[in-house]
């Protein structure tokens, strides 16, 4: 067991578990990034509910949300790390793992601060339906991310995370990866979104998505969600898509800031960075 507060030791153990030859594309990285984002992305700024505090996905009410299908894999990957460092909260572990995974897959360093609680505050529980629906258009994407407090530029920067991983027909109904090198963080997502000719298709399960096929039709099919294509086709979003397609450094910088902000939603800190709303939660329960 590591010394409480030794986040470096936790980081090292997260790095060690990323290589998973038997799982998916051989890496736990993408699904860990998704776990971190879904833990935080339920936040509603107006009512100050949802967010990563509480690690609510451990329980059926949030964990069983169809939007979170598949994320049990990410939580299971992290169990040995929790066992080796029992002092870390799940809420901290899940958010840290996402940031470490981005960095290890070649992305930017994301500023991450500890202090989240595993107390579940009943008054802060998010209702289901707060996470975005990939079949929708730009107005839906804006509604979801404005609710969390993001602007148009930050939304597009965040969406570059779809450079990682893939869709699974048994989880979301969508199918396939956004890019070829799907465990390497880069701005390829934006280059492909802006540069390729995408075709709308209906999958055998009735789900509609956009695909690109090489002329020979042999190489693996790449895909885009309707919400991804919405970024290309919206007059404001598309300016940022082009900027990030052209300038990888700018994308890395903006992504790191936006993702760090996402991880902090619902967490308040004092001047020294200590969390002020994680302890002594009234009416909550602890795992």
Interface ranges with ligand HIF (CB under 6 A) = 30-31, 33-34, 37, 70, 132, 134, 141, 158-159, 161-162, 164-168, 171-172, 174, 225, 227
Q: How far is the CB of 116 from ligand HIF (least distance, A)?
A: 18
Nearest residue (CB) to ligand HIF, 155 versus 281: 155
Nearest residue (CB) to ligand HIF, 28 versus 281: 28
84: its two tokens: 């080796």
Nearest residue (CB) to ligand HIF, 11 versus 166: 166
Nearest residue (CB) to ligand HIF, 24 versus 277: 24
Nearest residue (CB) to ligand HIF, 141 versus 241: 141
Q: How far is the CB of 270 from ligand HIF (least distance, A)?
A: 28
Nearest residue (CB) to ligand HIF, 106 versus 132: 132
Distance CA 189, CA 232 (A): 11
Q: How far is the CB of 120 from ligand HIF (least distance, A)?
A: 23
Q: How far is the CB of 112 from ligand HIF (least distance, A)?
A: 15
Cα–Cα nearest to 123, from 55, 50, 42 = 50
Distance CA 202, CA 247 (A): 33
Residue number with the smallest Cβ distance to ligand HIF: 165
- What is the set of active-site residues? 38, 178
Sequence-distant (6+) residues with CB within 8 A of 82 are 88, 90, 93
CB of 136 within 8 A of CB of 229?
no
Q: How far is the CB of 255 from ligand HIF (least distance, A)?
A: 9
160: its two tokens: 């570059």
Distance CA 201, CA 210 (A): 6
Q: How far is the CB of 33 from ligand HIF (least distance, A)?
A: 4
């Amino acid at each position: 067991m590591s010394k409480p507060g030794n986040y470096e030791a936790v980081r090292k153990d997260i790095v060690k578990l990323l290589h998973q030859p038997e799982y998916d594309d051989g890496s736990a990285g993408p699904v860990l990034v998704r776990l971190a984002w879904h833990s935080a992305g339920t936040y509603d700024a107006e009512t100050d509910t949802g967010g990563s505090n509480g690690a609510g996905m451990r329980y059926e009410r949030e964990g069983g949300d169809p939007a979170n299908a598949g994320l049990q894999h990410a939580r299971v990957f992290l169990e040995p790390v929790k066992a080796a460092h029992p002092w870390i909260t799940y809420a901290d572990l899940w958010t840290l793992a996402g940031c470490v995974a981005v960095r290890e897959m070649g992305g930017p360093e994301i500023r991450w601060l500890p202090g989240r609680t595993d107390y579940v505050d009943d008054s802060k529980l998010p209702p289901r339906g707060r996470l975005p629906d990939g079949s929708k258009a730009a107005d839906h994407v804006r509604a979801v991310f404005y609710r969390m407090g993001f602007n148009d530029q930050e939304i597009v920067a965040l969406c570059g995370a779809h450079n990682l991983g893939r869709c699974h027909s048994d989880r979301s109904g969508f199918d396939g990866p956004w890019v070829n090198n799907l465990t390497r963080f880069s701005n390829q997502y934006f280059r492909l979104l802006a540069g390729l000719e995408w075709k709308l298709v209906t999958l055998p399960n009735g789900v509609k998505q956009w695909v690109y096929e090489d002329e020979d039709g042999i190489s693996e099919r790449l895909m885009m969600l309707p919400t991804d294509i919405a970024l290309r086709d919206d007059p404001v979003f598309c300016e940022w898509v082009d900027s990030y397609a052209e300038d990888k450094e700018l994308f890395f910088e903006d992504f790191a800031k936006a993702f760090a902000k996402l991880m902090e939603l619902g967490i308040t800190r004092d001047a020294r960075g200590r969390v002020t709303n994680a302890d002594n939660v009234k009416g909550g329960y602890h795992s």
